[in-house]
Amino acid sequence: MTVIWKDEYNTGEPEIDKQHKVIFKYLDDLEAHMQAGDIDDNYVKCLMDNLGIFTRSHFCYEEICMRRYKCPIGAKNKDIHTKLLKTYTAYRHQLDDEGVTEDLIQKIHDFIESWLLNHIIKIDTQLRDCID
Ligand SMILES: [Fe+2]
């Protein structure tokens, strides 16, 4: 399933939205590689490393914004970020330990997809009401 960015996913904070679109692009890129059968250790590790570096600064920026706008979901958002990073790190370690398998790629894909569908779309968008 491809998750396409829609304007209704905007948070009202342009920099956060720009960063969210980058995460959508990571999933899009992964899906294109999966469909083309063009998956190897190097690609997946590189994608995960870039996603991890990007995400840490994104989460930090988003948490600062939620605090600035006194968003009531801020504390919950921060907790979810901690859990997402924990899951991310577990998958990244599994990649190092076991290498790329079809099962692991699917799990990583589903993890990023669920992050978009359940976190960005359902939680982060609540910032919009605090900015308006
Ligand atoms: Fe978030």
pLDDT tens profile 37-68: 999 999 999 999 999 999 999 999 999 999 99
Residue 30 main-chain phi, psi, to 5 deg: -60, -45
- Cα of 1 vs centre of ligand 1, distance in Å, is 22
Name the pLDDT band for 115 (thresholds 50, 70, 90): very high
pLDDT in tens, 13-31: 999 999 999 999 999 999 9
What pLDDT does 132 receive? 74
Whole-model pTM above 0.85? yes
- Cα of 131 vs centre of ligand 1, distance in Å, is 15
CATH architecture designation of domain 7-131: Up-down Bundle (1.20)
- Cα of 94 vs centre of ligand 1, distance in Å, is 24
The rounded distance, in Å, linking the Cα atoms of 17 and 1 is 21
